[in-house]
Structure 1
Amino acid sequence: MRLRHIEVFHAVMRTGSLSKAAELLCVSQPAVSKVLAHAERSAGLMLFNRVHGRLQPTREAELLFSETQKLQANLDSIRDLARNLALQPEGHLRIGCLPSLGLSVIPSAVEAFRVAYPRVSMRIQTRHTEELLNALLTRELDLAVALSPPARPGIASVELGRTPVVCVGPPADDREDTDDQPTTLQAVVEGDWISIGDADPLGEMIGNALEALGLDGRAPSVEAHTWHVARALAARGIGHALLDELTASSGAEAVSVRPLAPPLSVGVFALWRDGGLSSKAGNAFVDVLRARFA
């Protein structure tokens, strides 16, 4: 079967009719019918039976559909890549970042950047780390900003600076005798504490630090895989959360923030496709970000 055969076959399988498949592919119904018939002759298989005027996939069609879904997904990714390449990002900078950075570092950086480059339009998106990496590879984004992202082939990165890991609790903790006084990892996990899991770089780093101290057996009271949810829970006194200082300072609800002793910190990184940024504006925005941490 040729790629066009697979494309039409998938459209018919997804929509259940020749007319709807034609609408999906933006072609005529006779064209879909002709390609589908050619696909059946080429494969030597009957792919559909007509039952009461409707197309009913054969067992062979269901097996073929299951095996070709990955190929169809790859074709869709290629189309996305081609469309994004056509956007010509020289005068349009597409930036992705973690939600916490979108509320802390990014707004001031965009403000400074717009003073120097008022004619460059910008699009800001907040996504999780893996989504940012995938969007860079498919050229949906020109630049991304994340905390200690994992290495990924095809992605280059530079550390802009570091932000401390802090203990976040309810505002009632913010008393004169404890204000700004360091606490320890052991003190945090021996009380009610809120974990962010270990599925992202920050959570993994905290987990490694606890393991090094022999504290990894301490079960959290609550596990919240979203950093801002962990912060909101801590604000209500449900427990104490270990978060980066940027997230700790970016929420709407009042919290107490205490440093850790010994200190922990996490890197803030700018990321782009391997081979360098494609525009002067992209490099300039990285310089602005770096200045935020200087």
Structure 2
Amino acid sequence: MKLRHIEVFHALMRCGSVSAAARHLNVSQPSVTRVLAHAEASLGVRLFDRHARGMTPTPEAQRLWPNIESMVGQLDALEQLGQQLRHGVDRHLRLGASHTLGLSILPQAVIDLQREMPALHIELATSHFSTLCEELVTHRLDLALAFEQPLPTGIAGEPLAQAPMQALVPREMTAPASVSLAWLHRRGLIAMPGDDPLGRRLDEALTAAGLDDTAPRLRVRTYSLIAELVIAGGGTGVVDPLTAERYREQVQIVPLDPPLEMSVTLLHAEHTPLSHPGQRLRELLYQRLSVRDEV
């Protein structure tokens, strides 16, 4: 299939009719019909069944669709990269972060970078780890900040800091100077799901402590929600030190015994050198994370 075939096929799958696809592509309906006919002739299969209300994709079209959609996404990424190059790579920096890091460490580093480089345009978004990696590989992001976990193909990671995770205990609960996972577990441990990097570390530690037969009864997908549940009296929790610091006035923060370490990692696409603003942001992040009280 030629690129024009792919463009028309994608529009027809998205829009459902020749007229809607033509409006989407800003071309005439005969042009869409002609390109579709040429694509079907080239492939030797029919791609759509025509009817009064529009077009229905054939089984052959359904099999093509996932690959076509992926290819169009790559073309969109290429267009965005071209726009970035036209405007000058050193004037734009697109950043991503996990939700916790996007709310804690990254904002001040971004502000510091803008003060140093007032002409720099910065885009900042938070998302899940898998989405951040996909955006890096397709060059929709230049850098991302996340908690350490196994990296997918095409992604490079640079550890910036390591610190122990912290236990959260309700203020009215009597707690020792340090607590074990067994102690927390007996008092209603709230945990992240096992597909989260810190949730996975906690599950591994629970297994090592012989507590895997009685898994946490409540799992939530944000560290801040764990803190809110602890404040409400819903149990105890284990979170990253950044989240713990944000809730210091509302909960007891107690060290774990034995400690459970977590790392913050700077991610970028492999074989893609960092721009000057990216290098400077890395330095600013390292400076902030190297101060143990802030981590």
Regarding TM over 0.5, the answer is: yes
2:285 is the alignment partner of 1:289? yes
Residues 1:42 and 2:42 aligned together:
yes
- The aligned counterpart of 1:122 is 122
- Alpha-carbon separation, structure 1, partners of 2:162 and 2:48: 59
Report the Cα distance in structure 1 between the residues aligned to 2:46 and 2:76, rounded to whole angstroms: 32
CA shift for structure 1 position 117: 2.1
Q: For each residue in 1:25-48, what CA deviation from the matched residue of structure 2 results, as whole angstroms up to 9, or x when unmatched?
A: 232211101112223333444544
The AA in structure 2 aligned to 1:192 is G
Q: Is the 8 A contact 1:167 1:240 kept in 2?
A: yes
1:43/1:139 Cα in 2 relative to 1: closer, same or farther (>3 Å)? closer
Q: Report if aligned partners of 2:17, 2:55 keep a CA contact under 8 Å in 1.
A: no
Instruction: Indicate whether 1:278 and 2:274 are aligned.
Output: yes
Alignment of 1:62-101 (within 5 A): 62-86=58-82, 87-88=84-85, 89-101=89-101
User: Shift of residue 133 of structure 1?
Assistant: 0.9
Q: What are the equivalent positions in structure 2 for 1:1-294 lying under 5 Å apart?
A: 1-51=1-51, 53-57=52-56, 61-86=57-82, 87-88=84-85, 89-173=89-173, 178=175, 181-250=177-246, 254-294=250-290
The answer (yes or no) to whether the contact 1:50–1:56 under 8 Å persists in 2 is yes
- Output one character per residue of 1:87-136: Cα deviation in whole Å (capped at 9) or x when no partner: 13311111111111122111222233233222222111111111111111
Query: Which secondary structure does the structure 2 equivalent of 1:249 belong to?
Result: helix
Give 1:256 shift.
Answer: 2.1
SS in 2 for 1:256: strand
Q: What letter corresponds to residue 98 of structure 1 in structure 2? A: S
* Matched positions, count: 286
The Cα offsets for residues 242-277 of structure 1, whole Å up to 9 and x where unpaired, read as: 111112223598222111111111001111111243
Q: When the two structures are superposed, what TM-score results if normalisation uses the length of structure 1?
A: 0.89
Answer yes or no: is the 8 Å Cα contact 1:6–1:68 preserved in 2. no
Q: Which secondary structure does the structure 2 equivalent of 1:172 belong to?
A: coil
Structure 1 residue runs of 5 or longer lacking an equivalent are: none
CA gap of 1:118–1:239, structure 2 versus 1, over 3 A, is same
1:242 is paired with a residue whose SS is strand
Aligned-residue offset at 1:210: 1.1
The alpha-carbon deviation at position 63 of structure 1 amounts to 0.6
Cα pair 1:92 1:122 within 8 Å, conserved: yes
**Aligned-pair Cα RMSD in Å:** 2.2
